[in-house]
């Protein structure tokens, strides 16, 4: 049977509202495959079309932002649209981290060589020359678990201070990776506190040794370690933590699909985020078998939805979705629950992304 469907490309510009009402920092999270990249791209595009300088960045190692926006996106923020102030970046964790977890070129947001401060590659924790002994004693000589998240955190610290961007929209990695990313400020703060204490103790020890042996240039240098970089990084981490916890600046948006398992996982994510003190203002239910006109103020003559009157498969799937939607309404009461319909076409490119953005308003 042939079905005539009006091409999506025929959507009129005036049929789709412009602009976005959002916080300075918008993070989309959830399990893999629920549509986080689509939501992030749609929000960023609508924001930039309103004249707001906007950066959309993907922290997911398996990037799809380029495909969704239908343009090549670099690892560093670059303007991808000449008509609107839209910038984008797909973080390359390997490039962001460098040779090790804390590179000597100022990795991890301007640390200034934490590996060297701890003796990474040389000095007291570097193996055979240090008191720990052994070539395998250097904990900073190779990749560490969670470095994808560490690289993303480093980039976020940089983007917060970038005056080019009025709004930053983040397409996060799947749930587990995102939670590790959000744990990093606490982890880094604790680690830096211990490092500062250790360096201060070592400083006192070297001062005493220098006095015992009449002073020495190398001893004097060791006695006055430069802790400024560590203090700066600690302040930036504290600022990031404060921003992530400020509902006036940050909106973490959970994306799910209308299925029971997705609802449960989203509820667990919400609980973890609340434990971090991170506000969740919006829950997005994607791929709902519902008419576009019911969820957005859009001229939707072109929209094709499942035949709930005559298709038994569609009816049964709609029943599953209704049950999940009911649970979601109960579990996420007090949050702004948005619905995005199931589109007949793959959501990519400006036309459909603008429609998705209208559903999120």
Q: What is the pLDDT of residues 161-194, one digit of tens each?
A: 788 999 999 898 765 555 666 666 666 666 666 7
The residue-averaged pLDDT of 70-98 equals 85
Is 38 part of a structural domain of the chain? yes
The residue-averaged pLDDT of 27-45 equals 93
* For the chain, percent of residues with pLDDT exceeding 70: 62
- Which pLDDT score is estimated for 11? 54
Is residue 58 classed as helix, strand or coil in its secondary structure?
strand
Is 107 part of a structural domain of the chain? no
The residue-averaged pLDDT of 192-198 equals 70
With cut-offs at 50, 70 and 90, classify the pLDDT of residue 244: confident
Is residue 316 classed as helix, strand or coil in its secondary structure?
helix
Which domain, by its residues, includes 309?
Answer: 8-101+143-359
With cut-offs at 50, 70 and 90, classify the pLDDT of residue 19: low
pLDDT at 225 over 50: no
The residue-averaged pLDDT of 211-217 equals 53
Q: How many domains does the chain have?
A: 1
- Name, of 108-112, 133-137, 191-195, the range with top average pLDDT: 191-195
| Structure tokens, 29 | 């999270």
- Written in H, E and C, the secondary structure of 152-214 is HHHHHHHHHCCCCCCEEEEECCCHHHHHHHHHHHHHHHHHHHHHHHHHHHHHHHHHHHHHHCC
**What's 353's domain CATH number?**
3.40.50.300
Integer Cα distance of 105 and 111 in angstroms? 8
- Which pLDDT score is estimated for 346? 92
Is 112 part of a structural domain of the chain? no
Is 126 part of a structural domain of the chain? no
With cut-offs at 50, 70 and 90, classify the pLDDT of residue 263: very high
The residue-averaged pLDDT of 312-324 equals 96
**Total residue length of the chain:** 361
- Which pLDDT score is estimated for 35? 94
pLDDT at 215 over 80: no
Integer Cα distance of 224 and 202 in angstroms? 10
Is 114 part of a structural domain of the chain? no
Taking residue 220's Cβ as centre, other Cβ atoms within 10 Å add up to 12
- Which pLDDT score is estimated for 120? 37
Is 352 part of a structural domain of the chain? yes
Choose between 288 and 196: higher pLDDT.
Answer: 288
The residue-averaged pLDDT of 139-152 equals 51
Is 298 part of a structural domain of the chain? yes
The residue-averaged pLDDT of 83-107 equals 65
Q: Count CA atoms closer than 13 A to 222's CA, side-chain side.
A: 20
The residue-averaged pLDDT of 60-82 equals 89
With cut-offs at 50, 70 and 90, classify the pLDDT of residue 287: very high
Please tell me the least confidently modeled range out of 59-73, 246-260, 331-345, 347-361.
59-73
Reported pTM: 0.75
Which residue is it, tokens 């991170």? 278
Q: Count CA atoms closer than 13 A to 141's CA, side-chain side.
A: 12
Please tell me the least confidently modeled range out of 55-69, 165-179, 238-252.
165-179
Is 279 part of a structural domain of the chain? yes
With cut-offs at 50, 70 and 90, classify the pLDDT of residue 45: very high
């Amino acid at each position: 049977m042939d079905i005539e469907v009006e091409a999506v490309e025929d959507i009129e510009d005036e049929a789709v509202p412009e602009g976005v009402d959002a916080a300075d920092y918008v993070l989309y999270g959830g399990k893999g495959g629920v549509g986080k990249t689509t939501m992030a791209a749609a929000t960023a595009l609508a924001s930039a079309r309103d004249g707001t300088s906007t950066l959309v960045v993907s922290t997911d190692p398996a990037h799809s932002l380029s495909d969704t926006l239908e343009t090549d996106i670099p690892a560093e923020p670059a303007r991808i649209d000449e008509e609107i102030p839209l910038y984008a970046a797909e973080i390359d964790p390997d490039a962001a981290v460098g040779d090790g977890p804390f590179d000597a070129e100022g990795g991890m947001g301007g640390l200034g060589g934490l590996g060297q401060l701890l003796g990474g590659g040389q000095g007291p924790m570097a193996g055979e020359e240090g008191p720990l002994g052994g070539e395998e004693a250097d904990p900073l000589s190779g990749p560490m678990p969670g470095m994808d998240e560490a690289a993303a955190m480093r980039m976020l610290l940089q983007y917060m201070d970038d005056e080019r961007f009025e709004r930053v929209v983040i397409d996060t990695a799947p749930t587990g990776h995102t939670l590790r990313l959000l744990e990093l400020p606490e982890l880094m703060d604790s680690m830096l506190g211990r490092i500062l204490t250790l360096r201060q103790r070592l400083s006192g020890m070297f001062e005493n040794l220098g006095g015992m042996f009449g002073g020495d240039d190398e001893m004097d240098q060791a006695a006055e370690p430069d802790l400024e970089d560590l203090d700066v990084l600690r302040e930036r981490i504290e600022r990031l933590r404060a921003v992530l916890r400020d509902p006036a600046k940050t909106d973490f948006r959970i994306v799910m699909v209308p299925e029971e398992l997705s609802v449960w996982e989203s509820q667990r994510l919400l609980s973890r985020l609340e434990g971090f003190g991170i506000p969740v203002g919006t829950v997005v239910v994607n791929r709902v078998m519902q008419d576009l006109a019911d969820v957005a103020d859009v001229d939707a003559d072109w929209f094709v939805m499942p035949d709930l009157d005559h298709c038994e498969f569609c009816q049964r799937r709609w029943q599953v979705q209704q049950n999940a939607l009911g649970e979601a309404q109960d579990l996420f009461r007090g949050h702004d629950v948005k619905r995005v319909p199931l589109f007949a076409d793959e959501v990519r490119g400006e036309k459909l992304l603008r429609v998705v953005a209208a559903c999120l308003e």
